[in-house]
Copies of this chain bind each other. A is one copy, B any other.
Amino acid sequence: MFVNTMPRYEILSAEAVEVLDRGWRRIVSEIGVQFAKPEAVELFRAAGQRVDGEVVYLDPEFVLAQVAKAPREFDVQARNPANTVHIGGDHMVFGGVYGCPFVREGEVRRDATLDDFRRLTMLAQSFGQLDTAGGVICEPNDAPLDSRHLDMIYALATLTDKFYMGNVVSGPNAADTIAMTSILFGGRDKIEQTPATISLINCNSPLRWDDRMLDAQFEYCAASQPVVLTPYLLMGAMSPVTIPAALVQQLAEALSGIALAQLIRPGCPVIFGSFLSNIDMQSGSPSFGTPESAIGLLCTGQLARHFGLPFRTGGGLTASQTADAQAAYESLMTLLPTFLAGTNFVMHAAGWLEGGLVSCFEKFIIDIELLRMLRVEFTPLEIDEGSLAFGAHEEVGHGGHFLGAAHTMERFRDCFYRPLLSSTANYERWLKLGGKDTTARASDICAKTLADYQPPPLDDAIRAELGDYVSRRRAELGD
Question: A residues engaging B (CB < 8 A)?
Answer: 6-7, 9-12, 16, 19-20, 23, 26-27, 31-34, 55, 109, 204, 206-208, 235-245, 248-249, 278-287, 289-292, 294-295, 299, 319-333, 336, 340, 354-355, 357, 366, 369-370, 373-374, 376-377, 380-385, 387-390, 392-394, 396-403, 405, 407-408, 411-413, 415-419, 421-427, 429-430, 435, 437-439, 442
Q: How far is the CA of A427 from the CA of B7 in the complex (A)?
A: 40
**B324 and A324 form a contact (CB under 8 A):** yes
Task: Please give the distance in Å from A269's CB to the nearest CB on chain B.
Answer: 27
Residues in B neighbouring A16, C-beta threshold 8 A: 381, 383
Given the contacts A241-B412, A278-B416, A393 and B291 also touching, CB distance less than 8 Å: no
Given the contacts A385-B19, A399-B206, A240 and B407 also touching, CB distance less than 8 Å: yes
**B325 and A424 form a contact (CB under 8 A):** no
**B285 and A403 form a contact (CB under 8 A):** no
Q: 14 A-B contacts, Cβ less than 8 Å apart?
A: A20-B383, A207-B393, A236-B412, A239-B402, A240-B408, A241-B412, A280-B416, A281-B413, A283-B424, A283-B429, A285-B426, A291-B376, A321-B435, A325-B327
A sample of 6 more A-B contacts (CB under 8 A), given A236-B403, A321-B425, is: A31-B393, A207-B397, A283-B426, A283-B429, A319-B424, A321-B435
Q: How far is the CA of A423 from the CA of B325 in the complex (A)?
A: 11
**B20 and A206 form a contact (CB under 8 A):** no
Task: Please give the distance in Å from A388's CB to the nearest CB on chain B.
Answer: 4
Given the contacts A236-B415, A287-B424, A326-B422, A294 and B377 also touching, CB distance less than 8 Å: yes
Residues in B neighbouring A294, C-beta threshold 8 A: 377
Q: How far is the CA of A396 from the CA of B425 in the complex (A)?
A: 55
**A377 and B329 form a contact (CB under 8 A):** no
Residues in B neighbouring A385, C-beta threshold 8 A: 19
- Minimal Cβ-Cβ distance residue in B for A281: B412
**A321 and B34 form a contact (CB under 8 A):** no
Contact of A333 among B207, B332, B389 (CB under 8 A): B332
**B398 and A55 form a contact (CB under 8 A):** yes
**A400 and B206 form a contact (CB under 8 A):** yes
Residues in B neighbouring A290, C-beta threshold 8 A: 373, 416-417
Task: Please give the distance in Å from A139's CB to the nearest CB on chain B.
Answer: 16
**A407 and B33 form a contact (CB under 8 A):** no
Given the contacts A240-B407, A398-B206, A427-B357, A388 and B319 also touching, CB distance less than 8 Å: no
Task: Please give the distance in Å from A367's CB to the nearest CB on chain B.
Answer: 10
Please give the count of copies of this chain that the complex contains: 2
Q: Of residues A292, A357, A421, which shows the largest number of chain B Cβ atoms within 10 Å of its Cβ?
A: A292
Among all A-B residue pairs, the 3 with the closest Cβ atoms: A240-B389, A208-B399, A291-B377
- Minimal Cβ-Cβ distance residue in B for A109: B427
- Minimal Cβ-Cβ distance residue in B for A382: B244
**A388 and B245 form a contact (CB under 8 A):** yes
Q: Of residues A7, A319, A424, which shows the largest number of chain B Cβ atoms within 10 Å of its Cβ?
A: A424
**A235 and B416 form a contact (CB under 8 A):** yes
**B240 and A405 form a contact (CB under 8 A):** yes
Q: How far is the CA of A10 from the CA of B12 in the complex (A)?
A: 17
Task: Please give the distance in Å from A168's CB to the nearest CB on chain B.
Answer: 18
Q: Of residues A10, A283, A331, A390, which shows the largest number of chain B Cβ atoms within 10 Å of its Cβ?
A: A390
Q: Of residues A235, A294, A423, which shows the largest number of chain B Cβ atoms within 10 Å of its Cβ?
A: A423
**A399 and B204 form a contact (CB under 8 A):** yes
Q: How far is the CA of A249 from the CA of B398 in the complex (A)?
A: 11
**B381 and A243 form a contact (CB under 8 A):** yes
Residues in B neighbouring A370, C-beta threshold 8 A: 329
Residues in B neighbouring A23, C-beta threshold 8 A: 388, 390
